[in-house]
Structure 1
């Protein structure tokens, strides 16, 4: 029977970033419990899985979404699964704290940056080539130790009653014509991953200038992507920076004909067209390699890939599986920037930059 582990204790984003990067520098050192999470994990009464028919998953994807597919995974692989849910960056910090004492056999991250952090720290095991080859190189770790499961594209949502069309670049959003008309979510992980991507693609100086320009142009802050989409739809703002699937989820909920808001997939490899991936990596010291690899292969199976496409409207990443979501452009038609997604691991620098720009 599948057991749920208690969620990892939450910290503020800035406190986490202060933890994550020093831990990275220490390459997953286990010299004590700096924030108490590893100690708390030992007290939760759960037994560490150490056999091939048991698996502990640390999941940065939320329980409501993941629980049904975990049940299917158990049946398909004959594996007993325990899951600890939490924020992806916080769970990565937890694994770094635990080091070789980790209870996790598999890390399921909401974004590639947290997987990149663990890869850089040398905590992920090499995946079998046959597993890696199911996914395009753009959506797997350059070291062959993590693989993407589902993808999401950044887009600009726009209200056609206020804007005939959306700009073709996020750089246009700091122009006077869009003063006070743009919505964004600086405390949201997806926006922060996008900013990290811009830093990787264009450098810190250019990114900081853009962020300061966004603030100076009166862009409006929201807590979440969904709130931005609602603001665009109501005309509160003309444009909004979101992930593509929020529009498709809303369209499925209320009907596309009921939505005033539209979305624009940016051309030309613009940083605003970043495609990020939720993915998985096997923990080198988890002692559950066989069960974890079975889980990886199941998550790349037609059944699991179709589940993510239908439930979240994300892009399936395994070859041979396509989305049936109405009017969703094919993944290979998108003009995303070329970037090593594993390099989206420098969350601390991004948070510091957002603070310097006055956005958080």
Structure 2
């Protein structure tokens, strides 16, 4: 089944994929009219509008942005083909970029771009490059599930004692990437078995990771599957004493310890390749990397950038050994989620 056709059929069940990216956009969703450089952004407006405004100022290129979910935009770009008005795809995860690369929809980048980033955070074929990194973690309410601190595998959340007490966001691109990682690690049958057991535990569906964290913090659920930076942003906003929820890095070679990237690729057929290359270079600049480190609490993909947040060092995290380039089978992941009934 073509990815676009599948997504069109299941968009209602996925609670509007436009909200899939880190909580969805929260203002104008399309400012592309009259722009010199058109960016399709699967990253939420609330997270990246600032850095994209800086990009415009620093490069002198008038930028227009369409915000929606990464998987929705990837599907749209596949459908639009070379007729798309997009010049750059800014994705929440490597999987959507990989799907476009596999379909031949991305232009080769300047090799200097990939050479700048930490090993493993760019496409070996030079078609996309990571711009920031994030770790999957388990958020937990220490009053309800203190034992989460001892977990070393995401398999532990399948314990029947967590029935009705787990939060997840099926429309979120990072959750979909996690499911793809499950498929890579466990095989198709193993992943389907895991998801079937997860479904049997009656997890509570949320529209996004922010709401999952809210649910854990308030005790609506005992634990939730999110990315690390939501918690650090919450602590920075409210103070550690005002946040009940905690997070746990699994510290193991496990799909639940996946470190994924947000990233960019230049669309094949663009007539604004020079401007798009300026944008890529800016997103990898020290200024933009510092923005991601401080404003979104993500990990920089360039060495030498420090964060104001007390993050465990990326180099010291024990993480999944899954190659990010293996996360490009988005269509199969969405089909499996739909089949199991987790949309």
Q: How many angstroms apart in 1 are the aligned matches of 2:32 and 2:296? A: 33
Relative to structure 1, the CA distance from residue 316 to residue 162 in structure 2 (aligned partners, 3 Å threshold; closer, same or farther) is same
Q: Tell me, yes or no, if the aligned pair for 1:148 and 1:317 is still in contact at 8 Å.
A: yes
| SS of residue matched to 1:197 | helix
Structure 2, unaligned stretches of length 5 or more? Answer: 12-29
- Residue in structure 2 matched with residue 97 of structure 1 by the alignment: 79
- Residue in structure 1 matched with residue 171 of structure 2 by the alignment: 187
- Write the deviation string for residues 202-229 of structure 1: whole angstroms up to 9, x where unpaired: 2111111111111223333323222222
**How big is the shift at 1:258?**
1.4
Relative to structure 1, the CA distance from residue 45 to residue 188 in structure 2 (aligned partners, 3 Å threshold; closer, same or farther) is closer
Q: Among 113, 135, 145, which residue is 1:131 paired with?
A: 113
- Residue in structure 2 matched with residue 154 of structure 1 by the alignment: 136
Relative to structure 1, the CA distance from residue 314 to residue 13 in structure 2 (aligned partners, 3 Å threshold; closer, same or farther) is farther
Structure 1, unaligned stretches of length 5 or more? Answer: 1-10, 19-40
- Residue in structure 2 matched with residue 14 of structure 1 by the alignment: 7
More moved, 245-254 vs 344-353? 344-353
Q: How many angstroms apart in 1 are the aligned matches of 2:46 and 2:291? A: 13
Q: Among 155, 165, 171, which residue is 2:155 paired with?
A: 171
Q: Among 266, 269, 273, which residue is 2:257 paired with?
A: 273
Q: How many angstroms apart in 1 are the aligned matches of 2:68 and 2:341? A: 27
More moved, 95-104 vs 284-293? 95-104
More moved, 99-108 vs 111-120? 99-108
Q: Among 287, 294, 310, which residue is 1:310 paired with?
A: 294
Q: Among 292, 303, 307, which residue is 1:323 paired with?
A: 307
- Residue in structure 1 matched with residue 61 of structure 2 by the alignment: 79
- Residue in structure 2 matched with residue 228 of structure 1 by the alignment: 212
**How big is the shift at 1:148?**
0.5
State how many pairs are aligned: 320
Q: How many angstroms apart in 1 are the aligned matches of 2:65 and 2:146? A: 46
Relative to structure 1, the CA distance from residue 58 to residue 188 in structure 2 (aligned partners, 3 Å threshold; closer, same or farther) is closer
- Residue in structure 2 matched with residue 120 of structure 1 by the alignment: 102
Q: How many angstroms apart in 1 are the aligned matches of 2:203 and 2:46? A: 32
Q: Tell me, yes or no, if the aligned pair for 2:114 and 2:122 is still in contact at 8 Å.
A: yes
Q: How many angstroms apart in 1 are the aligned matches of 2:183 and 2:160? A: 24
Q: How many angstroms apart in 2 are the aligned matches of 1:251 and 1:116? A: 33
**How big is the shift at 1:98?**
2.8
| SS of residue matched to 1:57 | strand
Q: Among 307, 313, 334, which residue is 1:351 paired with?
A: 334
Q: Tell me, yes or no, if the aligned pair for 2:32 and 2:64 is still in contact at 8 Å.
A: no
